[in-house]
Amino acid sequence: MAAPLKMLWRSALRQTVRPFSSTCATHAGKKWRLENGLAWTGSEYGPLTDLPDWSFADGRPAPPLKGQIRRQKQREEFARRAVYLNAEMDQGCILPSAQ
């Protein structure tokens, strides 16, 4: 008696379980954000990722999270590289005209 009930339960379960998909869904508004010079996802930069999630009741800011520290270091390195390359271009423009 238990065996047919078990088979019936399995067949019913097989019919009701939805298939699982791990493919990435299309990001809503991706085309618009790219056309307007923004990040392709809404969570790469902006107030939701850059600002702290909470603060203390007395007004003190929350300590920065690991991701915030990592993004800040990446931005600092990018800014240093941009300044270095800009100075290098300025130096390259000055040298040929001085000769």
Q: Tell me what pLDDT residue 67 has.
A: 86
pLDDT for 12 equals: 60
Helix, strand and coil content of the chain, in percent to the nearest 5, comes to: 60, 0, 40
Q: What is the C-alpha separation between 34 and 63, in angstroms, rounded?
A: 32
Q: What contacts 24+ positions apart, CB below 8 Å, involve 71-79?
A: 71/45
User: Stretch 65-76: mean pLDDT, rounded?
Assistant: 91
Residues 6 or more apart whose Cβ sits within 8 Å of residue 62: 52, 53, 54, 55, 56
pTM of the model as a whole: 0.51
Average pLDDT over residues 87-96: 80
Whether residue 84 has pLDDT greater than 80: yes
Q: Please state, for a pLDDT cut of 70, what percent of the chain lies above it.
A: 66
